Structure formats: C-alpha cells, structure tokens
Chain A
Amino acid sequence: MDLLEYQGKQLFAKHGLRVSSGRAVTTVEDAVAAAGEVGYPVVVKAQVLIGGRGKAGGVKLAGNEAEAREHAQNILGLDISGHIVRTLWIEHASDIATEYYASVLLDRAEKLPLVIFSVEGGVEIEQVARENPQKLIRRHVDAFKGLSKREAVEIATEGGADEDVVEGVAEALVALYEVWSEEDATLAEINPLIVTPEREVKALDAKVTLDANALYRHPENQALSDAENEDPIERRAREEGVQYVALDGDIGILGNGAGLVMSTLDVVAQAGGAPANFLDAGGGSDAEKIKQAVELILANDAVKAVLFNIFGGITRCDEVARGLIAAFGDIKPTVPFVVRLDGTNDVEGRRLLQEADLPGVHAAATMNEAAEMVVALAAGNSVGAQS
C-alpha cells in the first residue's frame, strides 16, 4: 500500500524525523488559508502516487497569497499520467544547501533490511546507481538488532555526507529505519533528504509503502490510502475481499490463482487482445463468489467480452458453472463470455453450462483457444457454435 507524500511525512514526524510543517487540503480556499498559517514562501505540492510531479507542473513555489491561489487552482484537478490531483500539501518552503538520498527497504534477494544512502539526492536513485554507483552506499542490517546509531554514523561517513551533518544524517537514518520496522513498511524513502543553510537535516519528500498484510497491527494506518484516486472498482473489490486490478483494455478476465490469471493476461495479449482487469477468484470459489466477481468485471463499461479461465484444484468447475448460471439469472450480461473449464469436476461443469445454454456463452477446450476466441469476440467477430 503506497502512501501519499503527506501521509508518509506524518509517519516520519511520528518517529522523530524532521519535516517542514504543512497542511493537506482539497480546495483552493483551504490551500490559501493553509499557506497563511504555515507562512510564506510556501510550496504547493500535488499529492499523487506517481513520479514526475515536478515536471508535470504539480509542484510550485508561492511567495504570496495571489501566487498560492493561482498555483492551487492550476494544480487541483491536474492530470499527472492518469492520476488526478485531488489533494494538495502546502508546506513552508525550505532553503536548500545540499540534497542527499536515504532509504530503507526489504531486500528480497538477501532477505534482510537494506539501508541505502547517497549524497546525490534529488535525482532518481536508479540513475545514480547506473551512472555513479560509487556515490551510493548500500548496507544490510541485522534483522534482529536493527540499525544502530554507530552503524548509521558509518553509513553517513562512508557515503560522504558533509562532516558537520554526519550526526544529523545518522539520526535521520535511525528514525527512517524505525519507520520501516515499526510501521511494517516494505519501503521508506526520502528523496531528497536536505541540509538547510542552517545545517538542519530534513525530509523534503516521503515515499512509504506499507505491507497490507500487516495492517491489522496498525489500525491507525488503515485509512492511509489514496482512496480518492483509487479506481472505484478496485476499491469495491478490496472491500469485498476480491483480488482485482484494473487494466486499460476491453477483455474482462477471471481465473483462479494469481499465477494462472497473470498467465491468462499474457496469453490474451499474445492473441492480440487487451485485458481490462486482473481478477483472481481464488481457491475454492463458490457460486456466490463467482457471481460477485462477474458483477465486478462488468462494472467496467469498457469490457466487450469476458474470459473465464479455470483450472480446478480446490476450485470445483461445477461450482464455477453454477456461479456463472446464477450470475446470468440476476444480471443479464450483454457481452459475450468464453469459458474454459479444466480440472476438478470439469465434465460436470461443462455439462451444466451446456444444459443452461446461456446466451452468448462459448465453451473453449484449451487456454490458447479460449484466448483466441475472446479476442475475436471483443473485436466484434463471431466464433464457432455456442456451448
């Protein structure tokens, strides 16, 4: 679960990391009021979960009320690579002497916490890793002991932080590690971590990813998502406990098991189609769950055809067939379906579908054939006999 900058900064502040004072607002009037409270000059920052805000015109400096109003007007509603700006973060502008980079993340390869520090802040860290790898220090941390102040001082020193701020950088690293470990984050990143002319070390930006599986331990963090910008169908699916990811094509996809669904998306794309969603109906899907899934898929108006790709393990194909039949009884889909049932109780499942003779439902024998059929149907072409 990715957090917006201001949400990340709230977690930073909670763990003692220095951030500028600011306010999160959603209207121009509130933006102007907030600017007055934090004191000019202020920075008006778009809150979106995508990089490149600055280049897109989503971060502006305002020296007075008129400028704050103008920037807030321009930035609210701005479309940054498909993310509409609905929230602004207004913070007191900081003077910057130097920009560093710091992050703590879960290193999946080493299965250890990893601290990264660089004196090349303010640019993409991938770029530093490519062009100036010697300017980037990576240090694994003992999973039980965590990051000690002594280690943090070593990292800051070896990384080349200015001597007079080594202490401040080390404190920031320890606090950042605490955010990562105590909030169940998988990533906590500051870019840039700035040094002001007064030699204060401060987080100017925040990128935090929390582990959704650990939210039960942090009820106070459950509300911290980009709910306003979340795809409405994704949100509904999340609330219903269905694994659904919105994509931008026109072929609705349902399968069982994350791997098989990912594979189905790929096979449909290879057949020339564009999937509209990822939907994992999960193991042991009963008729009610299947109906709910069909409703989610069809809630997306872009969908022109739907593919059911089921390989029954725990999931029983006859249950899937019953679910589909029940769904058709209630919601009368107007788009064609292709259904491929294989595995546990597949013969019974296919028989049920054939007997029900649902309008616009086509049976496919294999995954590849199913993909070709659904691509043809989405393009408005007919395929062989109905099931």
Chain B
Amino acid sequence: MAILVDEHTRLAVAGITGKEGSFHTLNNRSYGTNVVGGVTPGKGGQDVEGIPVFDSWAQAMEEVQPNTAMIFVPPRFAADSILEATAAGVELVIAITEGIPAHDELRVYNTIKRDHPGTRLIGPNCPGILSPGKANVGIIPASFFRQGNVGVVSRSGTLTYQIGNEIAQAGFGCSSIVGIGGDPVPGSSFVDVLELFQADDETELIVLSGEIGGSAEEEAAQFIAENVTKPVVAYIAGFTAPAGKQMGHAGAIVSGTAGTAAAKAQALEANGVRVGRTPTEVAEIAVDLLPV
C-alpha cells in the first residue's frame, strides 16, 4: 500500500496546456502515473501529447472519470478551479499553485468542508505526492526516492528531498511523500496525513517536516501522543527566523511569540517525538529506529 496516490490513480490536470503544467504532467506520466485528461477552458478538444483536454471539470468527469485532480493554474483562477473539480466529484485535489490569496483559501477550505466533506484537498503551494514505484502527482523529483517503509509529510518541498535523499542513501525507501504546502490555510494538515500513515500497512516510520508559523506542528504533537503508535521523527525549520518576517512561504512567519520553531520542537518532544536538529540528524534517527 501507500497513501493517496498509487496505481489506481486516474489523474486530470487543470492548467495542462501551460508550460509548467504540461512539463510536470508529462513527467508524471513517464513515471507511470495514469494521466487521463486535462482541463483548460477554451481548449477542449485539443490534446497534450495524446492526453485529451476538456473545457471543464464536469466534462472531464463525464468523459474520463478522473479520481485525482492536479491544479496548476495561476493564483487568481486556482480557487475556482479547485472548487470546480470538487463539485465535479473528484475525490482528491492536489493544488500546486503558489500565491493564492488567504481569503480564497479560507473560502475553498470551508466550502469543501460544508458541501463536499468526502473530498480531500492537498496544498495549495505544495510539491504534490509521490508514492515511489506507484504514482507521482506533482513536482517531486522521483529519482531521489525508492519504494520502502518510511512515510514523509512536509510543509516544504526541497527540504523533503534533502531528508528523503539522505534516507535513501542509507538504504531505505518511502511509502509515500506528501507535501502539504507552505500556505496559511492548507487543505490538509499534518494530522490528516498522520492518520493515513498510521493506517497504512506499508508505512513503519513517519518523518514529519515542519517549519515556523501557525500551530499545525503542536496539533500534530497532540495527535501523535493520542493516536499514532508508529515511531515519528520530526524536523522543524526556522529556529533563527526573526519574528514578524515572512520566510518565503506565506505561512512561515513568527507572529509575536507564536509559531516559533523552539515551541514546536518542544511540543513534539514533550509528546515523545524525536526531533533532529539538522536534516542529516533526522535521517540518522530515522535509520536508527527503522527495523533492518
């Protein structure tokens, strides 16, 4: 098993006709992901290297029945695209787009919660999900990962590759790598993904990579203490970040005394989670704890 994306994934991509969208869609297809279509209003009837393009999510649903949507459209159109895919009945929506206004994210999150509670949104502003050997949806470079028993969930893309690569070099692989994104209102939180990894047979250890801002790591710590029996190793980025400065990600900001890396690491450690001080140390702890 793996979580969220696998050999049963039927992917359609909003923004497939754009430069980035087509590049990554084709990359995902070469990896083996079953890409069934794309959505670009006004370009229905065209194709991208044989992948049919539809004018709307409703039409894509009727013609090719995607169960997973990837959103690659520019920020000002992304919220509506996510909601359109959701309304068409897609169960899993993965939003890569960076720069969506926070109020739009709030509207998207609460609309899905109210009208489509069965739909899961990952992102926005995330690198997507990779289940090595099964499917890749997003922009995670698959070559650094191999199939295995470590589940990774992270707010950051490149940091995930850094940690995942060190784990791979030590001879271990991953069940799934899930980027939940760096925005203030992510569709899915650490807790949502931890719950999936806890239930996943293939996953034997979980790596959680967090950063400054918000309280998602503190909530994860509480959840782990109460619900997760698998070992969890964590990393928190941003110990040296000054208060009040947004560090790249829209959600990565220490507000007053809230959202500091120190508080997050402390909350995790107080709940029995080992926290590595460098990405290398995280990989070392993970390798230590893994059954050989």
Q: Give chain A's interface residues, CB within 8 Å of chain B.
A: 2, 49, 106, 108-109, 111-113, 126, 143-144, 181, 184, 186, 211-214, 216-217, 243, 245, 247, 255-263, 265-267, 269-270, 275, 278, 280, 283, 311-314, 342-344, 366-368
Return chain B residues, CB-CB under 8 Å to A311: 158, 161-162, 165
Closest to A185 in B: B103
Known: A257-B158, A259-B158. A342 touches B245 (CB 8 A): no
Q: 1/0 per position for B207-226, CB-CB distance to A under 8 A?
A: 00101111110010000000
Complex Cα distance A217/B75, Å? 12
Closest to A262 in B: B237
Assess the B101–A214 pair: CB atoms within 8 A.
Answer: yes
Q: Which of B143, B154, B241, B261 has the most CB of A within 10 A?
A: B241
Assess the A265–B240 pair: CB atoms within 8 A.
Answer: yes
Assess the A260–B110 pair: CB atoms within 8 A.
Answer: no
Total count of chain B residues near the partner, CB < 8 A: 62
Q: Which of B48-56, B82-90, B247-255 contacts A (4 or more CB under 8 A)?
A: B247-255
**Which of A111, A265, A278, A343 makes the CB contact (< 8 A) with B144?**
A343
Q: 1/0 per position for B5-21, CB-CB distance to A under 8 A?
A: 00000000000000000
Assess the A283–B139 pair: CB atoms within 8 A.
Answer: yes
Cβ of B123 under 8 Å from chain A: no
Assess the A262–B103 pair: CB atoms within 8 A.
Answer: no
Assess the A108–B215 pair: CB atoms within 8 A.
Answer: yes
**Which of B143, B154, B244, B252 makes the CB contact (< 8 A) with A262?**
B252
Complex Cα distance A77/B138, Å? 50
Cβ of B30 under 8 Å from chain A: no
Assess the B248–A344 pair: CB atoms within 8 A.
Answer: no
Cβ of B157 under 8 Å from chain A: yes
Assess the B185–A245 pair: CB atoms within 8 A.
Answer: no
Assess the A275–B158 pair: CB atoms within 8 A.
Answer: no
Assess the A126–B256 pair: CB atoms within 8 A.
Answer: yes
Complex Cα distance A343/B251, Å? 26
Return chain A residues, CB-CB under 8 Å to B101: 184, 211, 213-214, 217
Closest to A259 in B: B156
Q: 1/0 per position for B103-121, CB-CB distance to A under 8 A?
A: 1101101100000000000
Q: Which of A111, A216, A269 has the most CB of B within 10 A?
A: A111
Cβ of B229 under 8 Å from chain A: no
Known: A257-B157, A258-B248, A262-B252. A126 touches B257 (CB 8 A): yes
Cβ of B140 under 8 Å from chain A: yes
Minimum distance in angstroms from A67 CB to a CB of chain B: 33
Minimum distance in angstroms from B110 CB to a CB of chain A: 4
Q: Which of A2, A184, A260, A343 has the most CB of B within 10 A?
A: A260
Return chain A residues, CB-CB under 8 Å to B156: 257-260, 262
Known: A111-B109, A111-B185, A266-B238. A367 touches B250 (CB 8 A): no
The secondary structure that dominates the A interface is mixed
Minimum distance in angstroms from B98 CB to a CB of chain A: 9
Cβ of B196 under 8 Å from chain A: no
Return chain B residues, CB-CB under 8 Å to A255: 158
Assess the A314–B139 pair: CB atoms within 8 A.
Answer: yes
Complex Cα distance A275/B103, Å? 33
Within 8 A of A (CB), among B54-102: 75-76, 99-102
Q: Which of B155, B182, B257, B279 has the most CB of A within 10 A?
A: B279
Complex Cα distance A342/B241, Å? 24
**Which of B110, B157, B158, B182 makes the CB contact (< 8 A) with A111?**
B110
Complex Cα distance A143/B113, Å? 11
Assess the A269–B240 pair: CB atoms within 8 A.
Answer: yes
Assess the A368–B141 pair: CB atoms within 8 A.
Answer: no
Closest 4 A-B residue pairs measured CB to CB? Answer: A259-B156, A258-B248, A257-B158, A259-B159
Assess the A186–B139 pair: CB atoms within 8 A.
Answer: no
Assess the B184–A108 pair: CB atoms within 8 A.
Answer: yes
Complex Cα distance A278/B253, Å? 13
Minimum distance in angstroms from B17 CB to a CB of chain A: 18
Cβ of B280 under 8 Å from chain A: yes
Assess the B240–A266 pair: CB atoms within 8 A.
Answer: yes
Q: Which of B213, B247, B277 has the most CB of A within 10 A?
A: B247
Q: Which of B159, B246, B261 has the most CB of A within 10 A?
A: B159
Q: Which of A259, A313, A366 has the most CB of B within 10 A?
A: A259
Q: 28 interchain pairs (CB within 8 A)?
A: A106-B102, A106-B106, A108-B213, A108-B214, A108-B215, A111-B110, A211-B101, A214-B101, A243-B248, A256-B158, A257-B158, A259-B154, A259-B157, A259-B158, A259-B160, A260-B159, A262-B241, A262-B248, A265-B240, A266-B240, A266-B278, A278-B247, A283-B157, A311-B165, A313-B127, A342-B162, A343-B144, A343-B161
